Chains A and B, each alone.
Chain A
């Protein structure tokens, strides 16, 4: 570099000019980059854009069929922009602040309310005036933001329960336990019979949350569970301690080595009839690829722990749609959302994906599989519906505090007191941050 000017051979002039061309290109590239966000064809009144997180083959196809049916009926095209499921969730924050699609896939509960409260979604009360009759009250409640306005149209839902193989229960003469004592007795018997009583995999850190939810609303009831999730109740409350005591009681009956196992692998032990039971959502059915095995799959509600609450609460996460803050084709969006809120749209979906049930109580259930029928009855018979820990509470709290804390408990059930006070301290700072 020092002797650049004296040692430069003459041909390098050409190189310099080339470099200049490159720089000019680069300079031109910058405005191009910033422009590509806004050069959308969304201003077209015949198109509605939709951001989809349904990247798996089965739901992707099922959703696609809904949009095709909508296009036939309304002459409006739905331009779907599909992203990988997890990536979509991780980027949702910046996605909604940038130039989001008109409509996007999302989840009910606190997760929806959070973005509604931040002004990143449009209220859709006008849509609900048309579709309101299609949904039970529990679903209506789930679709409202904290301000009482509607922000969400649910499409499908699925309950969490305890899954088992009918043939295994028949072979050993097991009965479905409805009380805690019967459940423990069953676990003991299964262990004696050489089965893994409860299949479990917590490598992804969220399955344990499902077990916590079940134990908590059975022990302390729906209201306490909601308060705890909303950061109102204290984690150092003796009631929470009782939940973990119950958990510690059944922990010895869980499958070994769960910290290194995914839920899919845990489900395989149920498929292979090595495990007796499995606490999960109905999506566990996706792992039963053999028709005979799938027909053998059944489930029951998590057993009663406190008779004051019985089995009145069902965890049933709902998936559906929201509208971004300033959709380009408002009229088209309203039409699409109204369509998505109809029983017809749900039925189209359920034809291709039988692991979930319709959110609407108007949908035709005649084509349901026995598993779907049971799931549907469980949800419609519930007094209260919960979503899931990471949908009922602040996601930053559940992912940075609860996931590692629950894993810590599972590794060392004895250190619960210090763990709960640690959770409470961290909760206070997170919920205080607004």
Chain B
């Protein structure tokens, strides 16, 4: 769970720091100072409370889970915390039969999202940007899956995939002994079945991001390229797409985050059983429950944190560099 908040922290960090407002600057003569002593206390309070909350809820929990990754703890009383060094990681890398499949599935999740729904979302955005008729209806239809909670999405798709009574098997008659398609249970099928549901949602998300990006493209660029005799594809390839570069960066980061935090859909679908293991689900299974393995679960969370940082840090560096040069 802590990883989820961790992943948000870089975003939060990207927002300019909200420290106390600089009050040194003198206001023009003849007027009183704008901020009274009381105002400054208020401002300090307003900045202080969120800071304390942020530190307590994000940084302390993140650091605590890193520390716990080197311990063995069942979550009952602080005196039962035992220091075990790297044992959790050793076990994780060598003995846990679910760990490597989980890593692999998170990677597959990312690759599929970036290769299928992302280009498709871009395609839809380009079409909608042409102001075709009923554009708003299509826009709403494609965006609807994004609005619905992923847990609900999971339930709906479960009804579609249910091997006995689901829509697909009922239609194609694959729910009889002998020719049976177990969409949810078969380890060769279930990840792809879930990914279709995930892509269904991701397409709408990407479409909206690209649509926003396309609205920002200067219309004169299009005009210029059509004057130069470029056809639609050439215009898109050489003029429009290059201007979408900032959007592409956002899309890439969003997709990576989506792939790393993939959880709800699979948890509802089959709780990450054979074939759909994910890091986030391994963490949950180890930490939440009657007698939890908090140390071990934290070790998996740390692995997820490290992967997230490897991905997010280069993005942050490039963002800050741009801001500085701007």
Given contacts A5-B23, A19-B42, A426-B96, contact A400 B274 (CB under 8 A): no
* Subset of 28 A-B contacts with CB under 8 Å: A1-B18, A4-B21, A5-B23, A5-B35, A8-B34, A13-B39, A16-B43, A20-B45, A26-B49, A27-B49, A89-B290, A90-B288, A90-B289, A93-B290, A202-B185, A203-B185, A203-B270, A257-B164, A259-B182, A260-B185, A261-B164, A261-B185, A396-B289, A396-B292, A396-B293, A400-B293, A404-B98, A434-B80
Q: Are the C-beta atoms of B163 and A20 separated by less than 8 Å?
A: no
A 398-430 binary contact with B (CB < 8 Å = 1; else 0): 011000110110010000000000100110011
Does A192 sit within 8 A of B, measured CB to CB?
no
Q: Which residue of A lies closest to B188 (CB)?
A: A411
Please give me the 6 A-B residue pairs with the lowest Cβ-Cβ distance, nearest first. A259-B185, A260-B184, A257-B182, A260-B185, A256-B180, A20-B42
How many A-B pairs have beta carbons closer than 8 Å: the answer is 149
Q: Mark A235-261, 1 if CB is under 8 A from B, else 0.
A: 000000000000000000001111111
From known contacts A19-B42, A265-B165, A411-B274, infer whether A258 and B290 are also in contact, taking CB-CB under 8 Å: no
0/1 string, B23-58, CB within 8 A of A gives 1: 101010000001100010011011001000000000
* Chain A contact residues: helix, strand, loop or mixed: helix
Is A205 an interface position by the 8 A CB rule?
yes
Which residues of chain B are near A4, meaning CB under 8 Å? 21-22
Q: Does B85 contact A (CB under 8 A)?
A: no
The interface size bin for chain B is: 35 or more
User: Could you tell me which residues of chain B, from 155 to 176, have a CB within 8 Å of some CB in chain A?
Assistant: 161-165, 175
Q: Which of B180, B187, B291 contacts A114 (CB 8 A)?
A: B291
> What's the interface size class on A, roughly?
35 or more
Known: A404-B273, A433-B74. A394 touches B97 (CB 8 A): no
A6–B72 Cα distance when bound, in Å, is 55
Q: Residues of B contacting A261 with CB < 8 Å?
A: 163-164, 185
B271, CB-defined interface residue at 8 Å = yes
Residue of B nearest to A408 (CB): B274
Which residues on the B side are within 8 Å of A204 (C-beta)? 271
Give the nearest-CB partner of A265 in chain B. Answer: B164
Query: Within 8 Å CB of B25, what residues of A?
Result: 5-6
CB distance from B172 to the nearest CB of A (A): 14
* B136 in the interface (beta carbon within 8 A): no
Q: Is B319 an interface residue (CB 8 A)?
A: no
* Bound-state Cα–Cα, A395 to B75, Å: 14
* Contact partners of A94 in chain B: CB under 8 A: 75
Q: Does A188 contact B (CB under 8 A)?
A: no
Q: Known A97-B77, A259-B186, A426-B96; judge A111-B273 contact (CB<8 A).
A: no
